[in-house]
Structure 1
Amino acid sequence: MPTVFVTSATGSVGSALCQQLRALGWGVRATTQNPDSKSAQILKEIGVELVPGDWDDEEALRTGLAGCDKLFLCLLPDLGDFNKVPARAKNIAALAKAAGVKQAVGLTTLGAFAVEEGTKPPAEYAPSPFFTQHFHAKKRVEQALMDGGFDHWTILRPGFFMANFLEPKIHMGYTEIRDNGTWTNSMTETSPLGLVDHVDIAQFAVAAFQKPELLHGRLLAVVSEEPLVQEALDQLAAAIGDGRFIKAKFLSDEECAKVQAEGGWRFFSSETCVRYMSDYTDLGELNELIGGLTAFKEFLEREKEGVKQTYLGQQGG
């Protein structure tokens, strides 16, 4: 059975991927800064081999990569230094290649399309200078895998995480939904919102690992469903179940420009390029690749304890 080295193994995508790979009987290795954390302990219980260390600890990385056949690269962005993460990706790719890894699957962002020749949105809706740097940093992460000398590589570019509506990701700029019953965003009433379930992302990674030729060389936009924003918020309110209404508040181009001028960093609160992200997705192909993509209603039902905890302050029993 193959062995996969998974970065960000304790994150939402990484943990789902570890569970799916272990269910197949595959070996899984990862580094962790805190082997005693609850998330690390859960991975240990399913047979993931954990090496203490971080992404800058070359000795830990070499130990974890030794004997691995495949690499899953998912690195959190550093919005204070756009050079740091691409440098990490290049180093990890080099260490993986030296360890004999043959295949790499990387996770970046759907927004990378917005800075590529041939896929850019209209000039008037280009990303702000700040997010242009962010997206280019993601593309440099991708390039590190493309240039890594692997036999096969695949890049997954996910849309808006369904889990952003829940703890703990809701604190990454979305607490307005919980606290005010509104979501101020840069979409429009008719713009599809490309939602993605982190479990689906893991399934696409597994599909690529199982059949390396299938998605070799692909920059694959990954979403699970594309409802309108208000439709998604209505489904969330229904799942909370206390009679509340959550209203979508759409910013005009001028309002988005004002937020950017004031130094706003929240992607869905100021970047008009998100209105065009559905141009890069193909739900038909995605369904053919793994089948049974998760609808937002299904996600909310599966994560109903998280919904209660996030919006009603109730712990699961």
Structure 2
Amino acid sequence: MTQKTILVTAANGTVGSALVGFLLDQGFNVNALVRNTESETARELEKRGAKIFKGDFDDIPSLQKASQGIWGVFVNGLPVFGTLDELRHNTNVINAAKEAGAKFGVYMSVTLADIKDQFPNFGPEHPNYKYWQSKYGTEKALENAGFDYWTILRPGIFMNTFFGPVAAILWPIFQKQHTILSPLPPSATQSLIDPDDIARYAAAAFADPDTFNGLAIDLSGEEITLDDFAKLVIDITGIDIKVEHVSREEAASRGVPEIINWWYDWKTALNYHIDYERLKQFPIRPTTSEEYVKNHKDDIIKFLSS
């Protein structure tokens, strides 16, 4: 029997690279689409058995080349804030995959995408309007593409958000001063997920399309307050960090972006919660925050010590 081939876009990213590994372990062939074929990640994926394709989401021929012979596609475009570029890029991938004969499309969206029109004070003038239009627009494009199977994954906040490049935007003084500035009340929880778990859900979907077909699944490992998360990091790494709860005005004056407030306000207004009971029906055991910090202890210490 011929092995099925999956096209993984943004394969050099955190979720994409993990997914490539899981798919190869399950016996799939993988076409890995990357911008830089000479990157360390791309070379490692090639050593593991993936077929590497250099591509650009705006370069249709490169997408068509990477899509030849595939059975499934993982759609994972990157946000380009203030534009609808992500929607265009994802639509290009979906169209190329479908034209090549793909039967299954999986898209990594984001929590709340399906209810964005219910956000208070939200509309075309909102700074994040095009971000949400791109996410939801891609969901509809995938549903309507005509694949035999489709699945939408809507993850919460990546656990590595605190310990990588995004931290400089969301938590601007965390790396250097070991302080998380929060304009949210101490009781506010974050829906955190290990990026590898997102890849595990995607791999499970490709392995069992009938179970995952037609589903949009909100993903999270657990709900946790920033104070409890900080305590985990202290206990496991031995590095003293703290959460400083400040007013929204002070947070903004110290570089914390307004997006943190928007997400909290929208979740609160809509009484939005992850359905953890539903997640138990899928064959993935979520990684807890404690497990994530333990698994990445050395990298976290390096991040906070640099």
Whether TM exceeds 0.5 here: the answer is: yes
Q: Residue 272 of structure 1: CA displacement? A: 3.2
Per-residue deviation, residues 139-196 of structure 1 (Å, max 9, x unmatched):
1121121121111111111111101111344234324222233222343222221001
1-side partners of 2:183 and 2:138: how far apart?
A: 26
Unpaired runs of 5+ residues, structure 2, are none
Structure 2 CA distance for partners of 1:92 and 1:71, relative to 1, 3 Å: same
1:238 paired residue number = 235
Point out the more displaced range, 181-190 or 211-220: 181-190
1:151 paired residue number = 148
Moved segments of 4+, more than 6 Å: 124-128
Unpaired runs of 5+ residues, structure 1, are none
1-side partners of 2:221 and 2:7: how far apart?
A: 25
Point out the more displaced range, 104-113 or 269-278: 269-278
**TM-score between both structures, scaled by the size of structure 1:** 0.87
2-side partners of 1:129 and 1:263: how far apart?
A: 20
2:220 paired residue number = 223
1:247 paired residue number = 243
Point out the more displaced range, 64-73 or 130-139: 130-139
**Matches for 1:1-317 after TM superposition, within 5 Å:** 1-81=3-83, 83-116=84-117, 120=118, 123=120, 129-242=126-239, 244-249=240-245, 251=247, 255=249, 259=252, 265=257, 267-268=259-260, 271-273=263-265, 275-276=267-268, 279-313=272-306
Report if the CA contact (8 A) 1:192-1:275 is conserved. no
Q: Residue 58 of structure 1: CA displacement? A: 1.6
- Please give the root-mean-square deviation of Cα atoms over the aligned residues, in Å: 2.7
Q: Residue 279 of structure 1: CA displacement? A: 2.3
Partner letter of residue 245 of structure 1? I
1-side partners of 2:71 and 2:116: how far apart?
A: 32
Report if the CA contact (8 A) 2:108-2:155 is conserved. yes
2-side partners of 1:297 and 1:270: how far apart?
A: 27
How many residues end up aligned between the 2 structures?
303
Partner letter of residue 272 of structure 1? Y
Structure 2 CA distance for partners of 1:154 and 1:209, relative to 1, 3 Å: same
2-side partners of 1:278 and 1:288: how far apart?
A: 23
SS in structure 2 of the partner of residue 301 of structure 1 = helix
Percentage of matched positions with identical amino acids:
26
Q: Residue 271 of structure 1: CA displacement? A: 4.1
Structure 2 CA distance for partners of 1:147 and 1:42, relative to 1, 3 Å: same
